[in-house]
Structure 1
């Protein structure tokens, strides 16, 4: 293996989007031991995944450490490339999973931390909850991003190589005796960037698996967060007014008592 260089590509930032989340099922379920361990009512999988149309996550991610609740045997689970970067378990309670991401050695980057709160119970609107209960599948995902500021030249070459999209290609025959082609299939051309619009054609349930991770979806989330922030500020302001009214009434009562 050729030695890597620490020389960096100046004034350059490379971003990689990925998905952290979990799936959960009510036991018994064919993916988990039957009968389940005593007291365990849910089977779950926590994972780190690439975007459906994104580059190969192992281009930059070489190892993931999942730190589970301390009551689990071998609570610290480390999964190395090629993965999949996931942990399958059973249990009964929700908790925060600490996740540590280790990058390719040629990156010269230190590991970074993320956290995912394990979601086991149906959530959302009544309609969404009913669908999750009917399918016996709860999916909780979030989009994450890592930034490589002024990456090393070796790492930059890897991050910009077309080979990182090979995992999305399928083999197409060209006739007897001819070398097959490897081509992309799907509605959206593979890209390291978020798709402009949501797309379908990817199996599974959840925002990421359904192809909803897009700039349109991102804008919707940002608008929702802005609306929530505005509502929270309004509620805080209303509480300030209530508290100020109480303070004035207490002062008036104090004056009245003193006058006696």
Structure 2
């Protein structure tokens, strides 16, 4: 009989959404008192769970961040329990290669992702003003990993309640009694995207709480609207090109006639 760790749950598929992103600050900054003279920005690149999502370490063993080759020890590996992040100072943007290593129970190979380090304010003028005023740039995106026909052992880990223990806080039970760990009021844990985003205190929806099914639908609508605008612009340019072509032909005929 094959060991339990190699048995697969046929027909099952597990998905886990998570966040890859970075924050950045203009130097000088109180959290970075002595940066190198040429460095103008401080930043943190990270892999994080959704605010009310399951613990990443249920399925993630370690994360390797490959920074620009000019950094000493450019390859940084962070092992569970994390946090899976790297903080540095610098002055330029670059792509960070991220390698995700799964828990051994998964029996799966590591996968690659990449995040482009964003240091300058971006978005609408209003969004840029807020970023400059608060001196924080936050650039994030939602990623999803899938496990098809997971091993039996891994499947049990991924459906267990223990993956939500990180969301629990201590609650007193009276004098002389051991406190119990309970979910905070209003916290609804889920392994899937919530219907509505969860705003983190002092950070707003840009902190990762924006990730929800509602936000996903909003982005899809915006992309479709942008696609229509782009199609209109392409159509206008095609018509303009045709007009220019006809004009050039007319000029050519006129010159030949002379």
| Alpha-carbon separation, structure 1, partners of 2:110 and 2:222 | 31
User: Where does structure 2 lack aligned partners over 5 or more consecutive residues?
Assistant: none
1:9 alignment partner in structure 2? 9
- Select the residue among 213, 225, 246 that pairs with 2:211: 213
Q: CA RMSD, aligned part only?
A: 1.7
Q: Deviation string for 1:145-189 (max 9, x for gaps)?
A: 111111111111111111000000111111123332211114341
- Select the residue among 212, 220, 223 that pairs with 1:222: 220
| Alpha-carbon separation, structure 1, partners of 2:202 and 2:154 | 32
1:43 alignment partner in structure 2? 42
User: Where does structure 1 lack aligned partners over 5 or more consecutive residues?
Assistant: none
Alignment length (residue pairs): 256
- 1:108-257 map, 5 Å: 108-200=107-199, 202-205=200-203, 207=205, 209=207, 211-257=209-255
Shift of the alpha carbon at 1:209? 2.7
TM-score when normalising by structure 2: 0.93
Q: Deviation string for 1:126-154 (max 9, x for gaps)?
A: 32222222211111111111111111111
1:75 alignment partner in structure 2? 74
2:28 alignment partner in structure 1? 28
TM-score when normalising by structure 1: 0.92
Asked if the contact 1:203–1:210 (Cα under 8 Å) also holds between the matched residues in 2, the reply is no
